[in-house]
Structure 1
Amino acid sequence: MKTSTPPATPLRSTRSSAIRRLCLAMAVSLASGAALADLKVGVAMSQFDDTWLTYLREDMGAKAKSVPEGVTLQFEDARGDVVKQLSQVESFISQKVDAIIVNPVDTAATARITKEATDAGIPLIYVNRSPDDRKIPAGVVVVASDDIKAGEMQGQYLADKLGGKGNVVILLGDLANNSTQGRTKGVKEILAKYPGIKIDQEQSGTWLRQKGMDLVNDWITQGRKFDAVFSNNDEMAIGAAMALKQAGVKEGSVLIGGVDGTPDGLNAVKKGDLAVSVYQDAKGQADAAVDAAVKMAHKQPVEQWVWVPFQLITAANADQFKH
């Protein structure tokens, strides 16, 4: 009796199955690789030529390189132009980046940026400068430091050194920036407790060393007498110190305070050109901003407001700070 045997599987069929399995494996691998590809984050900076913001930008770049999965940052310079910055954000949206970080030119003009990013469903992180409108929607995070605290710390230290009396001047930052408003408010809230301290002048040096120097030169030329300079940042404070030196004012007879703790600011405190500064942690803000961008891109929970604390800098502790 003849027995039948099952037909052999054709070689072509076996090869086809193997090819299909290989293609499927490759597709899965590619999909997995896409998920692990670098996140693309657009970063719109208010201006590149600001000393402290340069450290912030460099620290964001360093943080991005340290993220295991990879983060590519695309930096754009708004050059102090609100319209240019909005255009840069719109370009990021059209590129479908994974997140957007903005250091706003004008803190009162962020509503349009917020709306366009949230409408596109792209996570938005404001860094260093918070929007004037504190009612931010879901999908938006702010990483900054409390500028009022910086003003209070600077104000209290100098008021104590003045013994609660004297004439003072204030060098303001960019008037379109709420850091200027916050730092000045903090100073004035402290000085309000000291009726013996009078504010003689306050003008904007727009964060720049040369403008701080020019303003103080003008006040000296006008014959104004002042015992202290309250500056919204280190650069203007250093300019003030230079003006006083050039005018032959006795060293230490006019107290000068800054904010930021930049390398030049730290050196000025160590040398005695500045009596005090207040450290603004660029690395702390940069790390928190990039961390928020990565988490939000992966739909992970984040705090909506991240406050990086200021710290007082004097000659006694200046060596422990660095950028």
Structure 2
Amino acid sequence: MKTPIRFTALALSMLLASGAAMAADLKVGVSMSSFDDNYLTGVREGMVEHVKTFPKGDGVQLQFEDARTDVVKQLSQVENFIGQGVDAIIVNPVDTASTARISKAAIEAGIPLVYVNRRPDQKDLPKGVAAVTSDDEEAGRLQMQYIADKLGGKGSIVILLGDLANNSTTNRTKGIKEVLKKYPDIKIVQEQTGIWLRDKGMTLVNDWLTQGREFNAVLSNNDEMAIGAAMALKSAGTKPGSVLIAGVDGTTDGLNAISKGDMTVSVFQDAKGQAVGSVDAARQLAKKETIEQNIVIPFKLITPENVKDFK
């Protein structure tokens, strides 16, 4: 009679061990501002690839939700994650000025929260909250300095702004204008929002050309609007390269545009770096480990000379 009991105990211990291993996988809810954004698609894919590298039984299960650029929907998604009892939450905020309620909900539930790509506007993040971003002012400075050098310190420029509710727009533009302080002979003749979209960037530039506005360069807060600008200029019969075009992100389409000569320069925003950083931060916080609250992934300048290094 002892043998069946011994086998039963062994089977029970194996079952418990298996259950413990399965339970060790952390559940992380991820709310992205928009699945349609090309750059953010790279961030999302980077997260999926990174979790594959974790050892079995000590991994992360990701649950993605698309906020569809809706602040209310995003808050609801975070509340649903909390209701499901996830171990951590990652948020790419729709509106960086409207994150207080998201942070409050996660903190009150005792669930670690990591913002990715876009940092909340508040200066100091609460305990249990981290941000994995890049210095957007640096992106603006890098692209503007390159264009200023190409223009020889003289000329007229237009600026394609991202979503005005996003501090990436504010800070990238601030970086551009910081550099312009050194170049009084470079003038801004137009500055409007294309809300990150290619077709909107194309429409704005087409309108300016139709109005007879003259400019030597387009400074865009992202690659998508920069590509739209290039399309408008090409459609208007503008000689390729006669108007310099600068973007930010280093998306696949952006890199191809530089290779073809449609864009002049971009600034590489490391989607994979942000993806890895945010998942690692969420995992460490869920394990009660101490981490840096503000994790900054550096930008890099992409030119026709080094574009092949980013493909």
Residues of 1 paired with 2:15 and 2:241: CA distance? 71
- Structure 1 residue 32 corresponds to structure 2 residue 20: yes
| Secondary structure class of the residue paired with 1:164 | coil
| Secondary structure class of the residue paired with 2:214 | coil
Change in Cα spacing, 1:21 to 1:245, as seen in structure 2 (3 Å) is closer
Equivalent residue number for residue 4 of structure 1? none
Equivalent residue number for residue 134 of structure 1? 123
Residues of 2 paired with 1:248 and 1:281: CA distance? 34
Q: CA deviation at 1:134?
A: 2.1
Q: CA deviation at 1:162?
A: 0.7
- Structure 1 residue 255 corresponds to structure 2 residue 235: no
| Secondary structure class of the residue paired with 2:64 | strand
Residues of 2 paired with 1:157 and 1:228: CA distance? 11
Residues of 2 paired with 1:203 and 1:276: CA distance? 20
Match of 1:203 among 186, 192, 200: 192
Report runs of 4+ in structure 1 exceeding 6 Å deviation: none
Equivalent residue number for residue 216 of structure 1? 205
- The one-character-per-residue Cα deviations of 1:225-256 (angstroms, maximum 9, x if unpaired) are 00110000011001101111111112211111
- Structure 1 residue 67 corresponds to structure 2 residue 63: no
Q: CA deviation at 1:25?
A: 2.9
- Structure 1 residue 237 corresponds to structure 2 residue 223: no
Q: CA deviation at 1:135?
A: 1.1
Residues of 2 paired with 1:35 and 1:76: CA distance? 22
- The one-character-per-residue Cα deviations of 1:210-231 (angstroms, maximum 9, x if unpaired) are 0000000000000000011000
Match of 2:86 among 85, 97, 113: 97
Change in Cα spacing, 1:65 to 1:27, as seen in structure 2 (3 Å) is closer
Match of 2:34 among 47, 50, 56: 47
Match of 1:121 among 110, 121, 125: 110
- Structure 1 residue 186 corresponds to structure 2 residue 175: yes
Q: Which amino acid aligns with 1:25?
A: S
State the structure with more CA Rg.
1
| Secondary structure class of the residue paired with 1:66 | coil
| Secondary structure class of the residue paired with 1:184 | helix
RMSD: 1.6
- The one-character-per-residue Cα deviations of 1:183-203 (angstroms, maximum 9, x if unpaired) are 000001101211101100000
Change in Cα spacing, 1:31 to 1:185, as seen in structure 2 (3 Å) is same
Gaps of 5+ in 2: none
Q: Which amino acid aligns with 1:67?
A: F
- Structure 1 residue 80 corresponds to structure 2 residue 63: no
Matched positions, count: 309
Tell which deviates more after alignment, 297-306 or 120-129.
297-306
Gaps of 5+ in 1: 1-10
Equivalent residue number for residue 278 of structure 2? 289
Equivalent residue number for residue 300 of structure 1? 289
Residues of 1 paired with 2:162 and 2:37: CA distance? 12
Q: CA deviation at 1:138?
A: 1.2
| Secondary structure class of the residue paired with 2:21 | helix
Change in Cα spacing, 1:64 to 1:30, as seen in structure 2 (3 Å) is closer
Residues of 1 paired with 2:28 and 2:267: CA distance? 30
Q: CA deviation at 1:19?
A: 7.4
Equivalent residue number for residue 8 of structure 1? none
Equivalent residue number for residue 156 of structure 1? 145
Q: CA deviation at 1:118?
A: 0.9
Q: CA deviation at 1:32?
A: 3.0
Q: Which amino acid aligns with 1:75?
A: F
Residues of 2 paired with 1:31 and 1:314: CA distance? 52
Q: CA deviation at 1:30?
A: 5.0
Residues of 2 paired with 1:119 and 1:140: CA distance? 12
Q: Which amino acid aligns with 1:239?
A: G
Residues of 2 paired with 1:248 and 1:19: CA distance? 81
Could you tell me the TM-score, scaled by structure 1's length? 0.92
Residues of 1 paired with 2:16 and 2:256: CA distance? 56
Q: Which amino acid aligns with 1:32?
A: A
